Structure 1
Amino acid sequence: MVRVIEDMFGIAVNPMTQKTDRVRRFTMTTERGLSVSVLTLGATIQSIKVPDSNGKIEDICMGYDDVAGYYCNQSLYIGATIGRVANRVSSGRFKLCGKDVSVSRNYKDRYHLNGGYIGFDSCIWDVVGIHKDGVTIQHISPDGHEGYPGELTTNINFSLNETGCFGMRIEARTKATTCVNITNHSYFNLAGHGAGKDALYQHMLMIKASQLVDTNLDQLPTGKLMRIRNTPYDFGSLSSLGKRLNQVTECPLSGFDNSYCVDVPPNRVQLVARAVHPCSGRFMEVHTNQPGLQFSTANLLADEDKGDVPNIGKGGAHYCRQGAFSLGTQKYPDAMNNESFPAIVLNPGQLYDHQVVYRFGACPKRV
């Protein structure tokens, strides 16, 4: 049986209304000790606690202890839901129904990033349902917000079950033709959220993909897909993440931040990735109906090896470069400017239906 407990995480100014509002936290817990906490601020996953093979529970998801932590580190999007359109939009422009659309260029006035200045991550979402296994929250994005046409209503149902499956079902409807590509930007380290780079290098990873989206130095798509078999980007079978990170040290990012084209049949939720931390036995699976998976190794966090001041997370943990990974389900970046990519256009009467299930557990300890 799953228990759902609500508490008040803090107060904040809602940028959509400029009024002070409560930030509510909902914690779902199973009888086996797995728990997930989500916030109404940014539809954020704040905590995921998972037992290891010996029953020891660790929080394996990066986050902050209070509202101030999230606001001070807003540009990192840690744990937040990203929208209307995640990732990059080149030059902040695209054509829709034959008309030119300009959206905010919030990254150095060069391109649109992760929904603009006030994206889904910045807003305080409304609670529309509390269930026996989770909660449903809603955000209404006005027509013209950040340049996007059409009023968009987005509902997210968070749920947890006793088999270790934590699900997000994201549904959206629009009143006018628009673009939608939503994701969640949680960072994980299966050894513990503050275990750092050495523990991340111990992980094993599998991603069911044979191609990724080719990008330029600004990480904007070139319109081509790159075959990755027998390259350091190939995680077709369970592979050492540390070994692969050492192989890409000469790349522009010196790490991974790539959109993988996962092998998912249309309208089916299927396994696309699996991460394992052998030392603790913890594993994580990603199941989705989305065609893209943005895999990142937190390359933009402070580099303690170079003397940078670390980002301080929950419980005083030091969050540092390549101390965690993210696996964000979505469609391909800048899809509205690349006709060959899976479309992200949503019309009135259509339902945007994004399903992702994270399954957590621990492998039995070998005798």
Structure 2
Amino acid sequence: MKKNLLVGMLGLVGILAGCASVKTADFDDIKLYTLKNKTGTMVKITNYGATVTSIVTTDREGQMADIALGYNDVSGYMNAVDKPYFGSIVGRYGNRIALGRFSIDGEEYELATNNNANHLHGGVIGFDKVVWDAEVIGAHALRLSYLAKDGEEGYPGNLQIAVTYTLTEDNELKLDYVATTDKKTPVNLTNHTYFNLKGEGEGDILGHELLINAKATTPVDSGLIPTGKIIPVAGTPFDFTTAKAIGRDIGKKDQQLEFGLGYDHNWVLDKGDKDGKMTLAATVYEPTTGRFMEVFTQEPGIQFYCGNFLAGNLKGKAGRTYVNRGGFCLETQHYPDSPNQKNFPSTILNPGEEYKTMTIYRFSAK
């Protein structure tokens, strides 16, 4: 095995409790893989949920820290209170679908509803709760694949998917997504890593300075389902076109902030004539450590979520609890509820077509 990609068993203590998604025969197949480059950057990934469990990067002083929220063993991911989706690939449809229903060619499909009356992140047993097949590719890449069968969580079609994680010598974590289907089906895959550039468990992220290359958002109703409108961010707390602290405007009186308990919304990226091509979606700078993260994507949108539902009841890898707004997510995606929104870019994958998209997280310090 290549020296920069290590593999070991992920702790399985308590794995049986409350677990309906993994069969006993799968336990020995759950492993933890480590990608490491020459700079010392290290990423750990388990094939349970195709989950990023750890990202270790340097600060401006050369000090290393884990900047991804998560757990030390697989039981945490299986049994976590409130199911925060730490680091996982979510799907078949990342984000929400209203009332768990949509139609294709006049046929209505009913999905599992796991977010009040709505469908969220693939349902009760989404891609974050299954064991993926793993294949080591070279020294710096891991390919994870899964077959989502026709009817799983209510979706039509046998969907064959693969996600390849690659860690480059330039401190880029590349995520390559590929999928095919034998029936028309909606597909919207994303990664749900929570970041804290100070280090996981090191307080809240409100002082992080965020820039999002988007002049518009898709506003939501009280159930966080898009209204179908696309509105400008100018003059609102949602304007991150110039970098600002995440906490600067989060307490302002605004109906959208009230609905999300903070930021939990989709931004419409400024793609212009680069639709479908790789563009810079967002940057995040943490002033005390100097850590800097850039997000590049081919997707038309990005969900910025600032850990509004973290409540101090989950303990992370270093033994510290995750406080409210103790991590943020930047989930590259198509827009929420697109199967029910005719003016949103389509997420329907047809037989004979290939779903293919890439997202890159680049880490540095300044």
Q: TM-score, normalised by structure 2?
A: 0.93
Structure 1 position 269 matched with structure 2 position 251: no
Cα drift, residue 325 of structure 1: 0.7
Where does 1:1-367 land on structure 2 (aligned, <5 Å)? 3-11=4-12, 15=21, 17=23, 19-21=25-27, 22-73=29-80, 75-108=83-116, 110-197=117-204, 200-247=205-252, 251-252=257-258, 253-264=260-271, 265-302=274-311, 310-363=313-366
**Residues 186 and 166 from structure 1, CA distance in 2 versus in 1: closer, same or farther, beyond 3 angstroms?**
same
| 1:262, distance to aligned residue in structure 2 (A) | 0.8
Whether contact under 8 Å (1:44, 1:80) holds in the other structure is yes
- Cα deviation for residue 229 of structure 1 reads 1.0
SS in 1 for 2:39: coil
Seq. identity, %: 35
C-alpha contact (below 8 Å) 2:283/2:292 kept by paired residues: yes
- Corresponding letter in the other structure for 1:218: G
Task: Please state how far the C-alpha of 1:247 moved relative to its aligned partner.
Answer: 3.0
Change over 3 Å in CA distance of 1:2–1:285 after alignment to 2: farther
Q: 3-state SS of the aligned residue for 2:219?
A: strand
Q: SS of 1:221's equivalent?
A: coil
Moved more, 124-133 or 34-43: 124-133
3-state SS of the aligned residue for 2:115? coil
Aligned length: 354
Q: In 1, are the aligned partners of 2:211 and 2:241 still within 8 Å (CA)? A: yes
Distance 2:228 2:24 in 1: 40
1:11-69 Cα distance to aligned partner (Å, 9 max, x none): 45782655332311111111111111111010101000010011000100000000111
What's the offset of the Cα at 1:142? 0.4
* Separation in 2, partners of 1:337, 1:68: 35
Indicate if the aligned counterparts of 1:248 and 1:254 stay in contact, CA closer than 8 A.
Answer: no
Shift of residue 320 of structure 1?
Answer: 1.4
Contact 1:172–1:351 under 8 Å retained in 2: yes
Q: Is the 8 A contact 2:4 2:139 kept in 1?
A: yes
DSSP 3-state at the match of 1:176: coil
Code of the aligned partner of 1:8: M
Contact 1:104-1:112 at 8 Å conserved across structures: yes
Q: CA deviation at 1:248?
A: 5.5
Q: Distance in 2 between matches of 1:72 and 1:283?
A: 32
CA distance in 2, matches of 1:16, 1:96: 30
1:99-122 deviations in whole A, cap 9, x for unaligned?
1111112223x1111101110000
**TM-score, scaled to structure 1:** 0.93
Q: Which deviates further from its counterpart, 204-213 or 235-244? A: 235-244
Contact 2:21 2:125 in 1 (8 A): yes
- TM-align CA RMSD: 1.7
1:130 Cα shift?
2.9
Q: Extract unaligned runs of 5+ from structure 2.
A: none
1:37 partner letter: K
How big is the shift at 1:2? 8.1
Taking the aligned partners of 1:66 and 1:293, their CA distance within structure 2 comes to 29
* Partner amino acid, structure 1, of 2:99: S
Q: CA separation of 1:249/1:279 partners in 2, compared to 1, >3 Å: closer, same or farther?
A: farther
Q: Greater strand share, 1 or 2? A: 1
1: CA distance, partners of 2:86 / 2:219: 25
Decide whether the 8 Å contact of 1:101 with 1:148 is kept in 2.
yes
